[in-house]
Amino acid sequence: MSERIQSVSRRTLMRGSLLAAGVAPLLAAGPVPTRAQGAAPAMAARDKRPVIHPGGSKLGAYDPYGDFSNDQGVVTEHLFLPWEDVELGALADADAYALARRRNVLVTVEPWSWAQDWNVTAARLRDDILAGRRDANMRAILEVLAGFKSPVTIRWAQEMDNPYGRFTWSNWRPADYVAAFRRMAALMRRITPDARIMWSPRGERTLGNYYPGSEFVDLVGLTVFGYDKFDVVQYGRTRTFAESVKQGYDLTVGYGKPIWVAELGYAGGSEYVARWAQDVTRNYPEYPELKEVVYFNDREVWAWPRGLGRPNWRVVAAADLNYPRRERP
């Protein structure tokens, strides 16, 4: 098993390249019309895509169904890649898709396999990375990304501060995570010197313990999901986007880097969703370094705490959520 885990397989990637770039077949109903900039989010229960506000944050999307394929206001395509069991050849199609739409590419590299029985323990993964036994995995991906014609940002091992046990690299000893990130950043600087490096905490109060240093980071990417049921349970009331982004922003703005929301989604009642759709790209004077939000256009891939299930972030309601694909664990 160890040899299998440490090699970069060439199995077909069902999520993270062709699908994540929107190259997969679109919905049978056809592309969703682009909402006019600044228009009211009519029929929020059916189409809840963010409203783009001139002068506000830019908009990107992880878009495995192609719902944003015709939206000219989208500037970034987000891809998710495990560094095990991945078909790297398909990335050329993702680059071509982004290039045709004049979009940048944000690539989240997750240091595991999406086949759960291939994964090792958190301690083993940490030790392997720090000892250089996973450099080949990262190098194989970077060598492909180095050939991209689209501008690239690379986000490695996100949400290291996630307290819910979501990822095997979450809540490592901070010094170990910092050393691992610096090792991967050194590979990025050498193999993909034109790519930007994103350090991407979830936004917890502990995030500062994991900051690898300004020389290893070009921009910060936070995670902000709005789910009305969770808000009520956790905070006693629903919250706005501005409230939800505040903690992460305040804790990272001092690093002097541009800040993105690298994963954004919202779900709930029609009024809640309509408010978030209107608000996420507004110009917030109190958040001058918030430059872009990247929508996660799919159903949640893991069960939320407190028995709240898997919220559906997808902007198009009543769509085919059972499209066959490789699921992130």
Residue 18 confidence (pLDDT) above 70: no
pLDDT at 320: 47
Please, which residues have CB within 8 angstroms of residue 186's CB and are 6 or more apart in sequence?
none
Give the whole-angstrom CA distance, residue 272 versus residue 268: 6
- Average pLDDT value for residue range 26-31: 27
What is the spatial distance between Cα 272 and Cα 69, in angstroms, rounded to a whole number? 25
Segment 55-102, tens digit of pLDDT: 999 999 999 999 999 999 999 999 999 999 888 988 999 999 999 999
On average, the pLDDT of the chain sits at 86
Mean pLDDT of 136-152: 98
Q: What is the pLDDT of residue 118?
A: 80
Identify which of 20-24, 29-33, 147-151 has the greatest average pLDDT: 147-151
Task: Write down the pLDDT at residue 207.
Answer: 98
Residue whose C-alpha is closest to residue 274's, from 223, 228, 234:
228
Torsion from C-alpha of 160, 161, 165, 169, nearest 10 degrees: 20
Phi, psi of 102 (to 5 degrees): 55, 45
Position 19 scores a pLDDT of: 44
The least confident of 30-44, 130-144, 231-245, 292-306 is 30-44
**Residue 322: phi, psi to the nearest 5?**
-110, 20
In terms of pLDDT, which residue wins out, 308 or 39? Answer: 308
Q: What is the pTM of this model?
A: 0.86
pLDDT of residue 302: 84
pLDDT band at 131, cuts 50/70/90? very high
Query: What percent of the chain clears pLDDT 90, i.e. is strictly above it?
Result: 74
CA–CA distance, 325 with 329 (Å, rounded to integer): 12
So what's the pLDDT on residue 38? 44
Q: Which helix (H) or strand (E) holds 154?
A: strand 152-156
Whole-number pLDDT of residue 15: 41
| pLDDT digit string, tens, across residues 237-273 | 999 999 999 999 999 999 999 999 999 999 999 999 9
Considering only residues 39 and 167, tell me which one the structure prediction assigns the higher pLDDT.
167
**Residue 39 pLDDT exceeds 90:** no
pLDDT given at position 303: 86
